[in-house]
Amino acid sequence: MYPALAKEFDIPLLPFFMEEVYLKPQWMQDDGIHPNRDAQPFIADWMATRLAPLVNHDS
């Protein structure tokens, strides 16, 4: 659904960042769903790397 909407409205679609986080059990809370504190630097860097080109451009 999301890829189709991104294409229809010509908007960027970021890949699901949690795919890489799930592969590192040490980055997950005990519930197995939410990333823990140790995962936050990775998530912040991942987001910044992908979002910066989308917001730092001349309109």
pLDDT in tens, 5-55: 999 999 999 989 899 999 999 999 999 999 999 999 999 999 999 999 988
Q: Within a domain: residue 8? A: no
The three-class DSSP label of residue 51 is helix
Q: Within a domain: residue 6? A: no
Q: Within a domain: residue 20? A: yes
Helix (H) or strand (E) holding 35: none
Q: How far apart are CA 14 and CA 9, in angstroms?
A: 14
Instruction: Find all residues with CB under 8 Å of 6, minimum gap 6, and list them.
Output: 12, 13
The three-class DSSP label of residue 7 is helix
Q: Within a domain: residue 3? A: no
Q: Within a domain: residue 17? A: yes
Q: Within a domain: residue 1? A: no
- φ/ψ of residue 56, rounded to 5: -100, 65
pTM (2 d.p.): 0.78
Tell me how many domains the chain contains: 1
Domain around 33: 13-55
